[in-house]
Chains A and B, each alone.
Chain A
Amino acid sequence: MVSNSNINNVKTKTIGEIFSKDPKIICRNVDVFYGEKQAIKDVSIDIASREIISFIGPSGCGKSTFLRCLNRMNDTIDTCKVKGSISLDKEDIYDEKIDVVTLRAKIGMVFQKPNPFPKSIYENVAYGPKIHGLSSSKEELDFIVENSLKDSGLWEEVKDRLQSPGTGLSGGQQQRLCIARAIAVSPEIILMDEPCSALDPIATAKIEELINQLGKNYSIVIVTHSMQQAARISQRTAYFHLGELIEVGETKKIFTMPKDKQTEAYISGRIG
């Protein structure tokens, strides 16, 4: 367990408000190493309940690495070592007793490239609830699949072909299927790593609208290279540079009057 004391008494070089009134995830002094190379340096930040926060920054700045720490996806990389503390509802997610599979159900993830299973649309969504034992009958499973597809805005487009392969959908539909798959296991947080970078503007707009809707029920952390996307959908924005969290704040403040020169250089397209 992470102690309540000192949680808001952290030394940080980050400019802006790293704390939240109602934190879901609390990260303190997080360092990440790939072998000898340090990819994340002393990052502290809260992710609030039902907030949409964007991580922005140039390629290689560590934003995806940090995102992957939040549901221990970096565990799959042998050379990767995470230091500091990350807690979900005040419980240390790196504690030995934590079941990583259950953790990743609570903190779902959507990737850059849509990656549906080579199964039917129905099975793509039903797979998670099945392995996590979230349904006790076929009717209950049908209900979860239908609701997840409705919440991801895909139901009307696929309700008559649920047994067709998920891989036969368009790119944007596949990504919404992956979001349906993530929300089918009733997560509390959804991590999204550049979820629209492989999509056209229309499919992107649909995903962004979906993110806005999902933000009413889930905390969403999104890594994006599109600053306009960050501006459009997130309440808070965090700017990373060379492994450090430089600045975090209200999105409208970050994009109109950032406090840090490096943030301003990046968002205004200058050489930082």
Chain B
Amino acid sequence: MGNEHILSSFDDDLHKLNKDLLKLAKLATEQFVSSIDNFSTQNIEEIDKLILRDKNLDDLDEKIQQLGFEIIALRSPQAEDLRRVISALKISTVLERIGDYSRNISNRTKALCELSSDDIPGVNIGKMGLVTQEMLEDVIIAYKDKDSDLSIKVRDTDVVIDKMNTKLYQEVLASMSRNKKNIVSGTHILFIAKSIERVGDYVTDIAEQNYFLINGKPLSEERPKADKTSLYGID
């Protein structure tokens, strides 16, 4: 099958959609990586820049949604073309949300900067962020290369994030029990960890959408989950 449509402007639209989506993926990754870096460095100036940059992601997502609707309305895409447009719309929304979570992480990091480092529980946010970053980078490669196996691998990696989040949750709660001065900072850290865990879930959504795009059917097997934080305190 030739890859080009008889109507070249249809190809132009699809290329533009793909190009914008990859640009948004790059921006979302940069925002997420910066949010984790800023947590370590606590550079207020960088944090403020990151928060301002979030609007770029919102604007690009809006542009992608508009183009996607136009393609559906004007081109009536079929089969793989239709899956590509629908997937682009869904993935774009998810990337924009990853941007939102990166901003949330930054807002809470900024609050932590105001607190004494003695009153902050020592937990490994950086490692959890790094695993999530690798998942995010891999899922973008899987999208670009139409790699079904890599999509499944990314989805199945989410369980690692879940386990890290559960462990971190227990550690922060223990820290807060020991020292009440840690309650404010501990709560911010719990929300930061939850944001990272949610980014992991969103990456998983992209992986599943990517599988559907490539194979034309949903990834039906249930994905492994290990986030036990919602059950904490129940015997």
Contacts and interface: CB of A to CB of B under 8 A. Distances in A.
A268 interface: yes
B178 interface: no
Given A256-B79, A269-B7, A269-B78, 7 more contacts: A255-B78, A257-B216, A257-B217, A265-B1, A268-B5, A268-B80, A270-B4
Given A228-B76, A265-B1, A270-B1, A256 B6 contact: no
Interface string B1-12: 111111100100
B1 A262 contact: yes
A271 B217 CA distance: 25
Given A256-B216, A257-B216, A271 B80 contact: no
A271 B6 contact: yes
Main secondary structure of the interface of A (DSSP, over half): helix
A228 B72 CA distance: 13
Interface in A234-272: 255-258, 261-262, 264-265, 267-272
Nearest to B76: A228
Contacts of B6: 269-271
Contacts of B79: 255-258, 264, 267-268
Contacts of B4: 270-271
A70 to B, nearest CB: 27
A227 interface: yes
B114 to A, nearest CB: 53
Interface in A43-82: none
B78 A272 contact: no
Interface centre among A227, A256, A269, A272 (most CB of B within 10 A): A269
Contact of A268 (B78, B216, B217): B78
Nearest to B3: A270
Contacts of B216: 256-257
Interface centre among B1, B4, B216, by most chain A C-beta atoms within 10 angstroms, is: B1
Interface of B: 1-7, 10, 76-83, 216-217
A199 B77 CA distance: 24
A257 B1 CA distance: 15
Nearest to B2: A271
Given A255-B79, A256-B82, A270 B217 contact: no
Nearest to B7: A269
A256 B82 CA distance: 7
A255 B77 CA distance: 9
B6 to A, nearest CB: 5
A258 B83 CA distance: 12
Contacts of A262: 1
**Most chain-B CB neighbours within 10 Å: which of A256, A257, A265, A270?**
A270
Given A256-B216, A257-B217, A268 B77 contact: yes
A250 to B, nearest CB: 14
Contact of A270 (B2, B76, B83): B2
14 contacts: A255-B78, A255-B79, A256-B78, A256-B79, A256-B82, A264-B1, A264-B79, A268-B77, A268-B79, A269-B78, A270-B2, A270-B6, A271-B6, A272-B1
Nearest to A227: B78
B80 A264 contact: yes
Nearest to A260: B1
A227 B81 CA distance: 15
Given A227-B78, A268-B77, A261 B5 contact: no
A261 B1 contact: yes
